Amino acid sequence: MERKEFLSKLGIGLAAVCVGCGVVACGSDPEDEAKPDPDTGGGDNVLTANLDSELKNVGDSKMANGVILVRLAQPNEPSSFTAVQLACTHQRISVAYNNAQGKFICPAHGSEFNTKGEVLRGPAATALKQYTVKITGSNLAVSA
Protein backbone atom coordinates (compact mmCIF):
# COMPACT_ATOMS: atom_id res chain seq x y z
CA MET A 1 0.00 0.00 0.00
CA GLU A 2 1.34 3.40 -0.94
CA ARG A 3 1.64 6.25 1.53
CA LYS A 4 -1.00 8.34 -0.25
CA GLU A 5 -3.50 5.46 -0.23
CA PHE A 6 -2.77 4.73 3.45
CA LEU A 7 -3.31 8.35 4.49
CA SER A 8 -6.50 8.56 2.45
CA LYS A 9 -7.96 5.42 4.08
CA LEU A 10 -6.85 6.59 7.53
CA GLY A 11 -8.56 9.97 7.01
CA ILE A 12 -11.79 8.34 5.83
CA GLY A 13 -11.73 5.96 8.81
CA LEU A 14 -11.20 8.80 11.29
CA ALA A 15 -13.97 10.83 9.68
CA ALA A 16 -16.35 7.88 9.98
CA VAL A 17 -15.50 7.45 13.67
CA CYS A 18 -16.01 11.17 14.36
CA VAL A 19 -19.38 11.20 12.58
CA GLY A 20 -20.47 8.07 14.47
CA CYS A 21 -19.53 9.59 17.82
CA GLY A 22 -21.36 12.79 16.97
CA VAL A 23 -24.52 10.92 16.01
CA VAL A 24 -24.47 8.92 19.25
CA ALA A 25 -23.83 12.02 21.39
CA CYS A 26 -26.60 14.03 19.73
CA GLY A 27 -29.02 11.14 19.70
CA SER A 28 -29.62 10.83 23.43
CA ASP A 29 -32.20 12.97 25.19
CA PRO A 30 -31.21 13.85 28.80
CA GLU A 31 -34.89 14.03 29.79
CA ASP A 32 -35.22 10.38 28.80
CA GLU A 33 -32.58 9.68 31.46
CA ALA A 34 -34.97 10.82 34.22
CA LYS A 35 -36.16 7.30 34.94
CA PRO A 36 -36.60 5.64 38.31
CA ASP A 37 -33.33 4.95 40.09
CA PRO A 38 -33.07 1.16 40.58
CA ASP A 39 -31.30 1.76 43.90
CA THR A 40 -34.37 3.49 45.36
CA GLY A 41 -36.65 0.48 45.15
CA GLY A 42 -38.57 1.71 42.11
CA GLY A 43 -41.60 3.92 42.35
CA ASP A 44 -41.51 7.42 40.94
CA ASN A 45 -38.22 8.36 42.62
CA VAL A 46 -35.56 9.56 40.21
CA LEU A 47 -33.01 10.48 42.89
CA THR A 48 -32.55 9.85 46.60
CA ALA A 49 -30.20 11.15 49.26
CA ASN A 50 -29.42 10.33 52.87
CA LEU A 51 -29.27 13.72 54.61
CA ASP A 52 -27.14 12.28 57.42
CA SER A 53 -24.27 11.82 54.97
CA GLU A 54 -25.10 13.84 51.82
CA LEU A 55 -26.00 17.43 50.95
CA LYS A 56 -24.99 18.70 54.38
CA ASN A 57 -24.07 22.25 53.32
CA VAL A 58 -25.96 24.97 51.49
CA GLY A 59 -24.92 24.81 47.84
CA ASP A 60 -24.15 21.07 47.88
CA SER A 61 -25.63 19.23 44.91
CA LYS A 62 -26.21 15.73 43.64
CA MET A 63 -26.93 14.60 40.09
CA ALA A 64 -28.51 11.38 38.87
CA ASN A 65 -30.92 10.24 36.18
CA GLY A 66 -31.00 13.62 34.41
CA VAL A 67 -31.83 15.57 37.60
CA ILE A 68 -29.78 18.02 39.68
CA LEU A 69 -30.70 18.38 43.36
CA VAL A 70 -29.36 21.35 45.35
CA ARG A 71 -29.55 22.30 49.03
CA LEU A 72 -30.68 25.96 49.24
CA ALA A 73 -31.06 26.33 53.02
CA GLN A 74 -30.05 24.51 56.19
CA PRO A 75 -33.23 22.94 57.67
CA ASN A 76 -34.03 19.42 56.50
CA GLU A 77 -37.36 20.32 54.93
CA PRO A 78 -38.48 20.12 51.28
CA SER A 79 -38.40 23.91 50.78
CA SER A 80 -34.66 23.86 51.59
CA PHE A 81 -33.98 21.92 48.37
CA THR A 82 -34.65 22.26 44.68
CA ALA A 83 -34.54 19.63 41.97
CA VAL A 84 -34.67 20.43 38.26
CA GLN A 85 -33.75 18.73 35.02
CA LEU A 86 -30.04 18.70 34.42
CA ALA A 87 -30.16 19.45 30.69
CA CYS A 88 -30.51 23.05 29.53
CA THR A 89 -33.60 23.45 27.37
CA HIS A 90 -31.59 25.32 24.73
CA GLN A 91 -29.09 22.69 23.58
CA ARG A 92 -29.21 19.99 26.25
CA ILE A 93 -25.90 20.90 27.93
CA SER A 94 -25.78 20.12 31.67
CA VAL A 95 -26.45 23.15 33.84
CA ALA A 96 -24.56 23.86 37.05
CA TYR A 97 -25.76 25.57 40.20
CA ASN A 98 -23.92 28.78 41.14
CA ASN A 99 -24.42 29.13 44.90
CA ALA A 100 -23.05 32.70 45.05
CA GLN A 101 -25.57 33.87 42.44
CA GLY A 102 -28.39 31.53 43.53
CA LYS A 103 -29.15 30.27 40.02
CA PHE A 104 -28.50 27.52 37.50
CA ILE A 105 -26.22 28.50 34.63
CA CYS A 106 -25.59 26.73 31.34
CA PRO A 107 -21.88 26.89 30.52
CA ALA A 108 -22.39 26.62 26.76
CA HIS A 109 -24.35 29.77 25.91
CA GLY A 110 -25.00 31.44 29.27
CA SER A 111 -28.67 30.64 29.81
CA GLU A 112 -29.68 31.25 33.42
CA PHE A 113 -32.50 29.74 35.46
CA ASN A 114 -33.80 30.50 38.96
CA THR A 115 -34.11 27.81 41.62
CA LYS A 116 -37.56 26.86 40.29
CA GLY A 117 -36.11 26.31 36.82
CA GLU A 118 -37.67 29.45 35.30
CA VAL A 119 -35.67 31.20 32.58
CA LEU A 120 -33.90 34.33 33.79
CA ARG A 121 -31.76 34.85 30.69
CA GLY A 122 -31.67 33.17 27.28
CA PRO A 123 -31.00 31.92 24.74
CA ALA A 124 -33.07 29.19 26.43
CA ALA A 125 -36.77 30.02 26.07
CA THR A 126 -38.25 27.11 28.04
CA ALA A 127 -38.03 26.49 31.79
CA LEU A 128 -36.24 23.51 33.28
CA LYS A 129 -38.60 20.81 34.53
CA GLN A 130 -38.95 21.03 38.32
CA TYR A 131 -39.24 17.87 40.41
CA THR A 132 -40.93 17.22 43.75
CA VAL A 133 -38.77 16.86 46.86
CA LYS A 134 -40.03 14.80 49.83
CA ILE A 135 -38.27 14.13 53.11
CA THR A 136 -38.99 11.30 55.52
CA GLY A 137 -36.67 11.33 58.52
CA SER A 138 -33.21 11.73 57.03
CA ASN A 139 -34.18 10.28 53.66
CA LEU A 140 -34.83 12.64 50.78
CA ALA A 141 -36.56 11.48 47.59
CA VAL A 142 -37.03 13.36 44.33
CA SER A 143 -39.94 12.31 42.15
CA ALA A 144 -41.36 13.37 38.81
Do 139 and 128 form a contact (C-beta atoms < 8 A)?
Answer: no
pLDDT 10s per residue in the chain (144 long)?
Answer: 676 665 556 556 554 444 444 434 444 444 444 444 333 344 589 999 999 999 999 999 999 999 999 999 999 999 999 999 999 999 999 999 999 999 999 999 999 999 999 999 999 999 999 999 999 999 999 998
Domain ranges of the chain: 1-29, 34-143
Cβ count near 23 (within 10 Å): 9
Hey, which bits of the chain come out as E strands? Answer: 45-50, 61-64, 67-71, 81-85, 96-98, 103-105, 112-113, 119-121, 132-136, 139-143
d(CA 29, CA 25): 9
What is the pTM (predicted TM-score) of this model?
0.70
CATH 2.102.10.10 describes domain 34-143? yes
